[in-house]
Amino acid sequence: MPKITTLEELHAHYEAPVPTSLKKVARHLTPLYRRWIEGARFAVLSTVGPEGVHGSPRGDDGPVVRVADERTLLMPDWWGNNRLDCLRDIVQDGRAALLFLVPGTNTTVRVNGRAYLTDDEDLRRSFAKGDRLPATVIVLEVAEVYTQCAKALMRSRLWTCGDLSDGLPTTGEILADMSDGEHGGKDYDRTYPEYAKPRLW
Asked if pLDDT for residue 201 goes beyond 90, the answer is: no
Residue 86: pLDDT band (50, 70, 90) is very high
Edge-to-edge strand ranges of the sheet holding 52-59: 52-59, 42-49, 95-101, 108-118, 136-148, 72-77, 66-69
Asked if pLDDT for residue 104 goes beyond 90, the answer is: yes
pLDDT at residue number 198: 82
pLDDT at residue number 89: 98
Cα distances (Å, whole numbers) of residue 159 to 24, 103, 153: 24, 6, 8
Asked if pLDDT for residue 125 goes beyond 90, the answer is: yes
Name the residue among 153, 127, 154 with its Cα closest to residue 138: 127
pLDDT at residue number 31: 98
Report the alpha-carbon angle 163-169-173, nearest 5: 140
Q: What single letter denotes the amino acid at residue 26?
A: A
Q: Can you give the pTM of this predicted structure?
A: 0.94
Asked if pLDDT for residue 136 goes beyond 90, the answer is: yes
Residue 197: pLDDT band (50, 70, 90) is confident
The rounded distance, in Å, linking the Cα atoms of 201 and 58 is 12
What is the residue-averaged pLDDT of the chain? 96
Calculate mean pLDDT across residues 156-174.
96
pLDDT at residue number 3: 97
Asked if pLDDT for residue 107 goes beyond 90, the answer is: yes
pLDDT at residue number 156: 96
Sign for the pseudo-dihedral over CA of 27, 29, 31, 35 = positive
SS3 179: coil
Taking only the tens place, the pLDDT of each residue in 140-151 is: 999 999 999 899
Calculate mean pLDDT across residues 85-99.
98
